[in-house]
Amino acid sequence: MPNSSRKTIFTTISIDKETATLVEKICKRYSLKKSEVVKLAFGYIDKAHINPSEAPESVKSELAKINKRQDDIIRFIRHYEEEQLNPMIRATNSIALRFDAIAKTLETRILSQQEASQERQTVVLKKLSEQFCNHADVINNQSKKINTLYQIYQRNYKKLLQLIQLYSELSACGVMDGKRKENLKTEISNLINA
């Protein structure tokens, strides 16, 4: 199988001694090889779109350019804030205020309906309680009447039993027991008239 790994082909460039000293200084400072320093420097120049043939201006002029760009960005942000963000904030605030007012109105309505419902329930419960009390009174009165009737029935039943007993004794009396018969007849008439 042939070796398919890519091989890096190195080329050489010539630099003056002053530049070579600068490259070695950077290599020592950052612990890099010369080829790495050159590769990184050219990568930076390419990414930053720096033209190496144009001499860099002074630091003050570069800072002034940066400040101008910052001012442009700040102006853009302020303009965007005035044109876009502030109206959105106002709209959001008005929506929040309306929502708050609606929520308070709903809360008031719900509470009033709840109170009205509770009052209606209380009235219904009072009426039910009154009806139950009335029914309970009727039941108690009927129970008392039934109890009274039962007591009367018990007394009458006892009298009936006594009458039956007296009549059976009367029928059992013979011809000779006249006095006993008279006493039994008196007891029966007293029991019936009582």
CATH number at residue 50: 1.10.1220
Phi, psi at 56, each rounded to 5°: -65, 145
- 78 domain-assigned: no
Domain for residue 137, yes or no? no
pLDDT, residue 1, reads 47
Range of the domain at 46: 12-54
pTM equals 0.35
Residue 35 within any structural domain of the chain: yes
**Residue 154 domain flag:** no
Q: How far is CA 127 from CA 57, 121, 122, 124, 138, in A?
A: 98, 10, 9, 5, 16
What mean pLDDT do residues 164-169 have?
Answer: 79
Q: What is the pLDDT of residues 53-103, one digit of tens each?
A: 876 666 677 778 888 889 999 999 888 888 888 888 888 999 999 999 999
Mean pLDDT of 167-193: 75
Number of separate domains in the chain: 1
In a domain, 95, yes or no: no
Residue 49 within any structural domain of the chain: yes
Q: Give the pLDDT score at 4.
A: 55
- How does pLDDT run across 99-117, given as a tens digit for each residue? 999 999 999 999 999 999 9
- Angle made by CA atoms 58, 15, 38, in degrees to the nearest 5: 70
